[in-house]
Each structure stands twice: as C-alpha cells, then as structure tokens.
Amino acid sequence: MNINFTLIAQAIAFAVLIWFTVKFVWPPLLNAIETRQKEIADGLAAASEGRNSLEVAAKKSEVTLNEAKQRASEIIGQAEKRGSQIVEEAKGAAKTEGDRILAGAKAEIEQEVNRAKEGLRAQVSALAIAGAEKILRKEIDGKAHSDMLSKLAAEL
C-alpha cells in the first residue's frame, strides 16, 4: 500500500476515458434518446388530437343523422298530406264535373220537353182552330176567335 507513479498513470487513463466519453459516447446516445423522446411526445400529441377530432366528428355525424331523420319524416308527412289532398281534390273535381254533366243533361232534356210542348201546343191550337172552322164556318169570325183560341192555347 504505497503511493507511486501508478497514481499518475491512472489519473492520465481516467482523463483519457472521460475525454473519450464526453466526446464520443455521450453525445450520440443523448441525441438518439432526445430525438426518440420528441418523436414519442409528438406521436402522443397527434394521437390525442386524432381522438378529439374523432369525437367531434362522431358528434357531428350524430347531429346530421338526426337532422336527416327529422327532415325525412317531415317530407314523408308532407307527402302523405299532399297525397290525400290530391285525392280529395280529384274527388271534388270529379263530383263537380259529374254534377255539371248531369245538370247539362237535365237542362237539355227540359229544353227538348219544352220544344215538344211548344210544337204540340201550336199543333193543338191549329187543330182546334181548324176543327172549329169546319164546324162553325159561317157564323164565326175566324180572326177574332183564333185570337181567343191562341190565348186559350197559351194557358194550356
């Protein structure tokens, strides 16, 4: 146990080893580790950001889906209403058209009846006058009596 030159030799070896580590060993390790730490931190940040945006997107899609459903049911409701409305309208239109055709037919029939009546009346009065003329040729003033008879015919 004596102090000798070994001390100095060991101190030099120590100095060289420290220099070697400071220069060649520590920096690449530090660099690799710090780069990896940064990459991991970035990755984690990106992952949580992605998770957030996924949540937002899910919420948004749910809202949109609900809106779409509501809109669809609205449209269906409107369509149903519109359909029944059209059916009602068609029914109404058909009924009025039918009524109108019926009324036209009735009016025509009445007209025909009236015309027949007119014809008959005229013929009846002419027949009556002719009969009366034949029976009452002499004493009866044809003109005055035909007036009277035509009045009578009008009253029929």
Which residues sit at the interface with another protein, rule CB under 8 A?
1-11, 13-15, 17-18, 20-22, 24-33, 35-36, 39
User: Please, which residues have CB within 8 angstroms of residue 132's CB and are 6 or more apart in sequence?
Assistant: 140, 145, 149
Nearer to another protein, 32 or 58 (CB): 32
Nearest Cα to Cα of residue 124 among 148, 102, 154: 154
Nearer to another protein, 4 or 141 (CB): 4
Give 3-state DSSP helix, strand, coil % of the chain, rounded to 5. Answer: 90, 0, 10
CB 124, CB 156: distance < 8 Å: yes
Smallest separation, CB 61 to another protein (Å): 36
Token pair belonging to 133: 């003329």
Smallest separation, CB 18 to another protein (Å): 5
Nearer to another protein, 2 or 138 (CB): 2
Nearer to another protein, 1 or 154 (CB): 1
Cβ–Cβ contacts within 10 Å for residue 146, how many?
Answer: 18
Cβ–Cβ contacts within 10 Å for residue 132, how many?
Answer: 15
Token pair belonging to 25: 């060993």
Nearer to another protein, 32 or 75 (CB): 32
Smallest separation, CB 34 to another protein (Å): 8
Smallest separation, CB 49 to another protein (Å): 22
What residue type is assigned to position 82 of the chain? R
Smallest separation, CB 51 to another protein (Å): 24
